[in-house]
Amino acid sequence: MQADAAEPARRLEAVLFDLDGTLADTLPDLAGALEAVARETGAGTVDEARLQPLVSRGTRAMLASVFAHESDHARLDHARRRFLERYREGVAVRTRLFPGMDAVLDTIERRGGRWGVVTNKHAWLTEPLLEALGLRRRAACVVSGDSAAHPKPHPAPLLLACERLSIAPGAAAYVGDSRSDVESGRAAGMVTLSAGWGYFDPDDPPESWGADVGAGTPGDLLDWVRSALAGRGG
């Protein structure tokens, strides 16, 4: 774990998390939805390992892994709609928090901090997923991809989260599994942490993103949270 910024310069009040690949392992249900659409259209099979680094790039990138040679825009639009429909139907069938992340959330709450979710996933998918995971009422704020004027890597979603929490950006940390997450957090003026257990591209490893803290595992993140919230009880 990179330790050169193990404690924020200001008192930490909140920890914000990216959702897919950081807080929750959503890949199984995303892959299942894409596999269903691939079968419906006769497009072939889904390689989950190939799909993993595409999750942070959004729906179109994931679809391109299966429909790369499809030039009919109407068919592509249909596939995209069916993928989102299928995913919404099974948004939390196999999705779980990454092992160790529940302990991170428990520790933040026990020590008097707050946590929230800032994701590029749209609210109509984010909300039911968090509800199914039992997190919606625990989260102090949830900012989805359609909540702010611009999605990440623009800082707008993170700044909106701070506004909803009534805190300064410097009192928050952002944890994410992509370069764009780190860029967004840095632009917002937050402490940034890279999630080394996430869905990043092996050709673009977390240590190259310039995060303040590199957490290789949720256990590393837990150690950082304990240090950053030291003295707040629990």
Catalytic position from the list 18, 177, 181, 220: 18
Question: Is 20 annotated as catalytic?
Answer: yes
Element (H, E) at 49: helix 48-51
Give strand pairing partners of 213.
193
Active site residue 181: no
First to last CA, the chain: 23
Q: Sheet containing 213-215: give its strands across.
A: 141-143, 114-118, 14-17, 172-176, 191-195, 213-215
Helices (H) and strands (E) in the chain, counts: 9, 8
Catalytic hit among 4, 20, 77, 177: 20
Rounded (10°) angle between helices 101-110 and 218-228? 10
Residue 204: both structure tokens together: 């673009």
Annotated catalytic sites, by residue? 18, 20
